[in-house]
A and B are shown apart, each in its own frame.
Chain A
Amino acid sequence: MKKNDKTQILSASRRDILKYSGATAATILAAPWVNRAWADTVELNMLSWYGLAEPDMVEEFEAENNVKFKPKYYAGGDNMLAALAQSPAGTFDIIHTDAEYARILIARGDLIDEMDPSDYPFGDMQHEDFKNFPGHWADGKLYSVICRFGHLGVSYNTEAVTHDEAMSYNVFWDSKLTGKVGHFDWHLPSLGEISLLNGNNDPSPFNIDQAAWEAVQAKTLSLKPQVKGFFDYGGTFSSLKNGEILACVGIGDWVTGVVAADGAAVDSVVPDEGGIQWTESYSIVSTSTKKDMANKYIQYALSPAGQVRSANMKAYPGFCVTNAGQEALIKATPDEARRTGQMPGMSNNPITLINEGRIHYRDTPKQQSLEDWNEFWSEYKNA
């Protein structure tokens, strides 16, 4: 009897064959409708920093607009330019970029489209600078729209460094941090912070003459005995979490916010010498065939709902750029709004810090070449 049962399981009866054949035929016959449903889904190709096209950012927009995001992630503006150079025209619809690289995209002439300012809530921007952000406009025409930003300063382990100590970049030279200081492995934020420590805040830590540049190099080299290593995002995250480093140069809440949410005792402050602002923006690629949908997404990203998602982005949080976004954030996730100072009247409110003149927008070097800064960075790492 058992033997017969086993045979039954292994061999299909004539009825089974008919049943499964029918199901297969129905599937094949239904294929055109299935294909049509898929065809209706718009695929938006986005070139961006990691996380911007993850479900926590785009799932709502995808569901409402029958869109599917297809991201290509990069790390660093130069990688973004390389990805663009290596991809045939039409590969991307939206570019999410650091603000200082938006200027380079515009300079290329044919890469990104002019945008209509009336499509975006420029009247509701939290700061006047955001309405006319450097490098986003050319000849009075808009090419790139600010969508989020964050501040870089002193990031530290709160069990090893006090808030007061962290209020100066000099803490990196503290003897108790010898061999415990990490660097985010990118020259612009690290050298920008040391430039600020040297007092180069007028007009900008990135706009310094040769003497000031040499002083920045000397000061940076003096930090080397304190340095544990040079890390990317993942390395910075794990080093702060497992206590390998107790302070880090060149990062801010965009890293420590995530590490703290993971249970580590870390925080970031903008020290008295000032901080650097990273700014991110969206542009529409000239060769895109889905410009309307790309534009619609950028509008969504700047809407209160989009801003709340951006401020809570799992990969790395960013501040809201619109007043409506901040209000929605306070309602939706008040703890996150409080933690990041995004509430009116808080001393670490990002807009207050900008208004106090303590924030400088990250930029490429003005009086030296990017190559000069990078070559020094390589020398420093080898020192």
Chain B
Amino acid sequence: MSDDTASALAKPATTATKREPWSAYALTWRVPLLIWQFLFFVVPLCFLIYLSFWLVKNYRMIPGFDVVNWVKMYSKGYFWDAYYLTFAMAALATVVTTIVAFPCAYALSFKVSETTRRWAVFFLIIPFFTSYLVRIYAWQVIIAENGVINGLLSYIGLGPFIMLNTKFGTLIGYMALCMPLVVILQTFSMANVDRNLIEAAHNLGCGRLRTVFTVIVPLAKVGLIIGAVFCFILSFGDFVSPYYLGGSRPPTLSILIIDTTKSGQQWPKSAVVAVTMIATLLVVAFAAVATAYRKPK
């Protein structure tokens, strides 16, 4: 490849990264989103942060600016126990869900017809038609000690296995929440991988497994990471699974928020927990997005 050809190929990329001047047309489309984000994310977030400095006296919140809630909450061992547990459980759910979802998404992307893929995506969307809480109650019936799974296992002389009200139960709930979404995101990202590149890899002698890890995964990286990030975000903030399938034992941060409000209107302390959760999610999300869009050297 000559230098001229290389620079010619590089040119469009340079043009694409050049910032377009502001125009009324572009603003018309951008402003509503900015207003929405400002009103329904930035303003409530600022209020939440402000609330964390308020005080509670005689069951009444007193506006003010005192760091006592932050000091008290951060000095409690149970807060950090809940934090590490929530982070670890969300990370575990992310890893397990991403790994389990991948073969399914791979099959939907490369091994089935277009019609089958459409139907599969439709069926993956169907769980969202039902309330998440109802689905979790259904899981209680399935994984209870006298539930469906243990009932079936008993026929072959196994069990009963204790799954409900354990961390395993929480993990099942997280996966029930996230799996359909992660499979859909992974499927869409892999379905858009250029088939010619896969064919080229095969023609150059690359085995199937190696093609997956050196061609498909890097090319679908953005979708795979976005799927994982969604899984982490949803699991990290989830209240339902750790409460109804994990038995709140030990509690996660979302349960800690509920517990804290039960101690005499301690909304400011709950705000400390909430702000910490949001900060953690922002760091994780930005790090993941930066990794997803990082250009290979």
Listed stretches A132-140, A202-210, A372-380; interface member = A372-380
CB–CB B76/A375 < 8 A: yes
How far is A304 from B104 in the complex, measured between Cα atoms in Å? 63
Q: Is B237 an interface residue (CB 8 A)?
A: no
| A interface, CB within 8 angstroms of B | 76, 78-79, 81-82, 85, 104, 107-108, 179, 185-187, 227-232, 234-235, 238-239, 242-244, 369-371, 373-375, 377-379, 381-383
How far is A232 from B262 in the complex, measured between Cα atoms in Å? 13
B246: chain A residues at CB < 8 Å are 229
Other-chain contact of B267, A82, A228, A377 (Cβ < 8 Å): A82
Residue of A nearest to B248 (CB): A230
B contact residues, range:
35 or more
CB–CB B267/A381 < 8 A: no
Among B68-91, those with CB < 8 Å from A are 76-78, 81-82
Residue of B nearest to A101 (CB): B59
B19 to chain A, nearest CB (A): 44
B112 to chain A, nearest CB (A): 39
CB–CB A78/B251 < 8 A: no
CB–CB A377/B247 < 8 A: no
Q: Is B118 an interface residue (CB 8 A)?
A: no
How far is A82 from B77 in the complex, measured between Cα atoms in Å? 27
Residue of B nearest to A235 (CB): B244
Other-chain contact of A232, B141, B243, B250 (Cβ < 8 Å): B243
A76: chain B residues at CB < 8 Å are 262
| B interface, CB within 8 angstroms of A | 58-61, 76-78, 81-82, 137, 140-141, 144-147, 162, 164-165, 243-244, 246-251, 256, 259-267
B279 to chain A, nearest CB (A): 21
Other-chain contact of B248, A229, A369, A373 (Cβ < 8 Å): A229
CB–CB B58/A107 < 8 A: yes
B146: chain A residues at CB < 8 Å are 242-243
B140: chain A residues at CB < 8 Å are 238, 242
CB–CB A373/B263 < 8 A: yes
B76: chain A residues at CB < 8 Å are 375, 378-379
How far is A378 from B262 in the complex, measured between Cα atoms in Å? 11
A-B residue pairs, 10 tightest by C-beta? A229-B247, A374-B263, A230-B248, A229-B165, A370-B264, A382-B78, A382-B81, A382-B250, A378-B78, A371-B263
9 new A-B contacts at CB < 8 Å, known A85-B61, A383-B250: A78-B264, A228-B249, A231-B248, A242-B146, A244-B144, A370-B263, A374-B260, A374-B266, A381-B259
B164: chain A residues at CB < 8 Å are 244
What are 14 of the A-B contact pairs (CB < 8 Å)?
Answer: A76-B262, A79-B261, A81-B59, A82-B265, A228-B247, A231-B247, A235-B243, A235-B244, A238-B140, A244-B145, A374-B259, A378-B82, A378-B259, A378-B260
B88 to chain A, nearest CB (A): 14
A365 to chain B, nearest CB (A): 10
CB–CB B259/A377 < 8 A: yes
B248: chain A residues at CB < 8 Å are 185, 229-231, 381
CB–CB A243/B145 < 8 A: yes
Other-chain contact of A229, B137, B249, B262, B264 (Cβ < 8 Å): B249
CB–CB A230/B144 < 8 A: no
Residue of B nearest to A369 (CB): B264
